[in-house]
C-alpha cells in the first residue's frame, strides 16, 4: 500500500507545493509548528529515511537548503530546523 507521502507525490492527496524537481518534493505541513513549516521528501518511497539510495540521501540536503532560502525570503524566522526521523531530546529537534 502506498504511503501518505507517496499519495501526495502522485497527486492523490492535495498539498501546497513549495518546490519540486524530478527527485524531491517540498510542501507546507498540514499542521505546522510555525509559519512556513515545510516538509522535504524524496519521491522515492522507502520505509526509513536512511534506506534511501546514497545519491538521493546526499542530494536531499542541498535541495532542502534551496527551499529554506526561499522560505526565509518570505517568512520571518529565527532558526531553520531539520528532522530526519532521529530521536532527539534537544530543543533543536522540536
Expressed as residue numbers, the domain containing 19 is 4-93
Which pLDDT value is given to residue 1? 73
- The string of pLDDT tens digits covering residues 47-70 is 998 999 999 999 999 999 999 999
The position carrying cell 513549495 is: 18
DSSP at 42: E
pLDDT at 84: 55
Beginning with the edge strand found earlier in the chain, give each strand of the sheet holding 38-42 in spatial order: 17-20, 24-28, 38-42
Q: Is the pLDDT of residue 39 over 60?
A: yes
Q: What mean pLDDT comes out for the span 22-50?
A: 93
pTM for the model: 0.79
Tally of domains in the chain: 1
What CATH number did the domain enclosing 69 receive? Answer: 3.30.428.10
φ and ψ at 70, to 5 degrees? -65, -40
Amino acid at each position: 500500500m502506498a504511503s501518505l507521502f507517496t499519495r501526495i507525490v502522485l497527486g492523490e492527496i492535495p498539498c501546497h507545493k513549495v518546490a519540486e524537481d524530478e527527485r524531491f518534493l517540498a510542501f507546507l505541513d498540514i499542521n505546522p509548528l510555525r509559519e512556513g513549516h515545510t516538509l522535504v521528501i524524496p519521491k522515492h518511497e522507502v520505509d526509513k529515511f536512511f534506506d534511501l539510495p546514497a545519491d538521493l540521501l546526499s542530494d536531499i540536503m542541498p535541495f532542502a537548503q534551496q527551499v529554506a532560502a526561499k522560505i526565509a525570503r518570505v517568512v520571518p524566522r529565527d532558526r531553520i530546523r531539520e528532522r530526519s526521523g532521529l530521536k532527539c531530546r534537544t530543543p533543536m529537534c522540536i
